[in-house]
Structure 1
Amino acid sequence: MDKEQSKSAKVTDDRPLVCVLAYDGLCMFEFGIGLEVFALPRPEFPDWYRHKVVAAEPGPLHATGGIAIAAEHDLPALHDASLILVPGWRGIDTPVPDDLCDALRKAHANGARIASICSGVFVLAAAGLLDGAEATTHWRYTDALAARYPQINVRPDVLFVDNGTILTSAGSAAGIDLCLHVVRQDYGAARANVVAKRLVMAPMREGGQSQFIPAPVPPERGGQISALLDSVRAQLDRPWSIADMANHAGLSERTLLRRMVETTGETPQKWLMRQRVAFAAEMLETTELSLDDLSMTAGFASQETFRRVFRTIRGITPSQHRKSFSTPHRLSA
């Protein structure tokens, strides 16, 4: 081996490695989410994730609709993973292979984060990775998950749960929010927002947001509320009251309360606080504004109120959030 070959052989790629599982009966939408977020080339960024599609079991593998799946890697590839994504499972009553459970436990012990979308949580549960932890899944499956695994604290009312190294999400679309959450952790809010824009969707919804909106909203009602929400987001520094919002939407306060819950799953006050905190979080990550200036820009009455509300929603203080996310951190493979 010449010097140049020797030199190149020593170069290691420290970009996070995302392994997306494939299995017989594969849920294509959830699988596609993982590939769209982590595997799609991103020439707009100087670096991005590496990825592998890993067969969770011996073939042949087929996806929903009879599509044949040929994965280039087998379970030993999980040993080097930074993140393993379980995109659903073929049935909540279908046993999870022992080899897959063992491989996931070993990868987690080796430092890998493991995330599930929708029914994929049953794979994590079968592997014992959720014992004593919080988790969520699609609202149709939360009762079954709680009954089958009483050692898990099932959260039926959220989009996703981040336990640090184990992450679970609700129904299929919530998997996008979870994946954007991972991007934000690894590369910062600015890149996560670029990915969301390329997906032609709003930036990531917070994990604590309700996954289930109780009733469909007629188009004319949704239109009124949508215009109001856009106006509020554009003027977060304005001291919005219930009366202000109702007047802006041309609704009575009582009707506003009802339609906000129908549309967002939250009261106007709670929704507004989440929007302000989400905006503040992005500003903490992308600017050097002081907490005083930032709290006013985000519409909080005082820095003390800002700190209290931010901590209630995010679980950490604004200063801790800035320290953790202002400089994008990445896990090595």
Structure 2
Amino acid sequence: MKTVAVVVQEGFAPFEFGLACEAFGLDRSDDGVPNFDFRVVTAEPGAIGSNLGFSINVDNDLSFAYEADLVVVTPIPRSAWASVDERVLDVVRHAAARGAWLLSVCSGSFVVAAAGVLDGRRATTHWKYARTMAQMYPSIEVDPDVLYVQDGRIITSAGTAAGLDACLHLLRQELGAELTNAIARRMVVAPQRDGGQAQFINRPLPAAASLSLAPVTDWMLENLRLDLTVDDLAAKALMSPRTFARRFKADFGTTPAAWLGRQRIIHAQRMLEQTDLGLDRIAYECGFGSAAVLRQNFARVLGITPTAYRARFACPAAPPAA
């Protein structure tokens, strides 16, 4: 992926637009991150008004988007969902047909849906509008409980900040975990959030915040090779297993086992990128026990074998992660 086009339309949402600019448009070459040929495009170049009462001047028409490796679609006002500019829809259809990446941020998924390229696919959008999408486009399998969905080379994301999760997910596939972690560190965000947007749906705040589990999760990350059970972790946190599991789910949006499994995969990615250790040793260091178990879990989560991942992203000369 070398070229990125971000499509903006009248009434665009500034924050969601800014996410795409932050993820793909900044020069981070001093961190070893390759730059993209990044351009903001629109159907009618000139002043494009936001939904907050100010405008930006866009010089590029949509022609660049027909060649871009990635086309990012930002949200438009709800009143325009049923009447999206046909010129923008043509760009989206063309991108899908030629196998380019398509990524929508928040309700930008309605633009992608209007183009017809999500028919028969799984997708997501902001939880508040998920039912509306399902009603407008019954042929789309709308999942309201996740931060983003990748179906082939089309990525749809949930509300607002979930767009950044989707951008980082795509960057991990194109650049590898280590360079994506460098981007995330520059943005001061987590390189990958577990859980889904279900944790944000009409749920009241607790009366008091739970005890911090940071010391326990730090210890987990330092001891990935161990067979860590909920009972062991609960004892480390000085809690009962039931209380620990409940508080962990409340804080991280997922179970201790799922969170631990994801961290093991991330550690395996880093070791595959930065070392020439064999799969058996990496499996041991990451807590998978055997190379066979590592292969099974790695392929299930990332859709690629450890060997293929190493061939694509190996960079043993890279400095260790901060």
Q: TM-score per shorter chain, which class?
A: 0.7 to 0.9
Aligned position for 2:38: 51
Aligned position for 2:141: 153
Go from structure 1 to structure 2 and tell me whether the alpha carbon gap of 1:217 and 1:260 turns closer, same or farther (over 3 Å shift).
Answer: farther
Q: Is 2:154 aligned against 1:162? A: no
Aligned position for 2:306: 318
Q: Does the 8 Å CA contact 2:48/2:57 hold for their aligned counterparts?
A: yes
Q: Does the 8 Å CA contact 1:79/1:110 hold for their aligned counterparts?
A: no
Aligned position for 2:171: 183
Go from structure 1 to structure 2 and tell me whether the alpha carbon gap of 1:317 and 1:251 turns closer, same or farther (over 3 Å shift).
Answer: same
Residue segments in structure 2 that go unaligned for 5+ positions in a row = 316-322
AA of the residue aligned to 1:289: L
Quick one: distance in 1 between partners of 2:171 and 2:246? 34
Aligned position for 1:304: 292
Q: Deviation string for 1:19-39 (max 9, x for gaps)? A: 111111111111111111111
Go from structure 1 to structure 2 and tell me whether the alpha carbon gap of 1:312 and 1:183 turns closer, same or farther (over 3 Å shift).
Answer: closer
Quick one: distance in 2 between partners of 1:56 and 1:167? 22
Q: Deviation string for 1:37-75 (max 9, x for gaps)? A: 111122313741011111145664211221111111112
The alpha carbon displacement at 1:296 in A equals: 0.8
Select the residue among 224, 245, 251 that pairs with 2:233: 245
Quick one: distance in 2 between partners of 1:72 and 1:228? 51
Quick one: distance in 2 between partners of 1:266 and 1:123? 31
Q: Deviation string for 1:91-140 (max 9, x for gaps)? A: 27632111210122123334421110110111000001111212111222
Go from structure 1 to structure 2 and tell me whether the alpha carbon gap of 1:291 and 1:275 turns closer, same or farther (over 3 Å shift).
Answer: same
Q: Does the 8 Å CA contact 1:56/1:100 hold for their aligned counterparts?
A: yes
Q: Does the 8 Å CA contact 1:57/1:97 hold for their aligned counterparts?
A: no
Corresponding pairs, count: 310
**Structure 2 length as normaliser, TM-score?**
0.88
Between 306-315 and 126-135, report the one with greater CA deviation. 306-315
Quick one: distance in 2 between partners of 1:164 and 1:248? 41
Q: Is 2:55 aligned against 1:68? A: yes
Aligned position for 2:216: 228
The alpha carbon displacement at 1:156 in A equals: 2.2
Q: Does the 8 Å CA contact 2:45/2:57 hold for their aligned counterparts?
A: no
Q: Deviation string for 1:304-332 (max 9, x for gaps)? A: 332333333333433343344437xxxxx
Q: Deviation string for 1:236-291 (max 9, x for gaps)? A: 12221111111111211110111112122222112211221222123223332211
Q: Does the 8 Å CA contact 2:9/2:48 hold for their aligned counterparts?
A: yes
Quick one: distance in 1 between partners of 2:168 and 2:76? 21
Between 253-262 and 224-233, report the one with greater CA deviation. 224-233
Go from structure 1 to structure 2 and tell me whether the alpha carbon gap of 1:92 and 1:280 turns closer, same or farther (over 3 Å shift).
Answer: farther
Structure having greater relative contact order (Cα 8 Å, sep ≥ 6): 1
AA of the residue aligned to 2:296: R
CA RMSD of aligned residues (A): 2.2
Q: Deviation string for 1:71-91 (max 9, x for gaps)? A: 111122212211111122222
Residue segments in structure 1 that go unaligned for 5+ positions in a row = 1-14, 328-333
Quick one: distance in 1 between partners of 2:57 and 2:266? 40
Quick one: distance in 2 between partners of 1:61 and 1:85? 17
Which secondary structure state, in structure 2, belongs to the residue aligned with residue 61 of structure 1?
Answer: strand
Matches within 5 A, 1:53-202: 53-57=40-44, 60-91=47-78, 94=81, 95-202=83-190
Quick one: distance in 2 between partners of 1:232 and 1:199? 25
Between 82-91 and 39-48, report the one with greater CA deviation. 39-48
AA of the residue aligned to 2:130: T
Go from structure 1 to structure 2 and tell me whether the alpha carbon gap of 1:40 and 1:46 turns closer, same or farther (over 3 Å shift).
Answer: closer
Q: Does the 8 Å CA contact 1:217/1:262 hold for their aligned counterparts?
A: no
Go from structure 1 to structure 2 and tell me whether the alpha carbon gap of 1:125 and 1:255 turns closer, same or farther (over 3 Å shift).
Answer: same
**Structure 1 length as normaliser, TM-score?**
0.85
